Structure 1
Amino acid sequence: MAAAVVFKFLYGFLIFVAFIITGVALFTPGWRSYDGDDAPMMGLVTRDCGSNNRAVESYDCARWHEMQFTFEQVTLALMIVAWILQFIALAFFCGLFTRARLALPATTLCFLAFIAILIALIVYGVRYQRKIAYMMSVTYELLADVHLGYSYWLALAGCIFTLLATLAAG
Structure 2
Amino acid sequence: MYMHDIALGVAYLHTRRPSVIHRDLKSMNILISADNRAKINDFGLARIRPRANTMIHTQCGTPNWQAPEFWTASPCYTEKVDVYACGLIYWEILQWGSEPYPYHDMTEHQLYIQVRDRNYRPSLTKLKRYPKKLLELIQDMWAQTPSQRPSMSQVVERLMEYLC
- TM-score, normalized by length of structure 1? 0.28
Q: Which has the larger radius of gyration?
A: 1
Larger helix percent? 1
Structure of greater relative contact order (alpha carbons < 8 Å, 6+ residues apart): 1
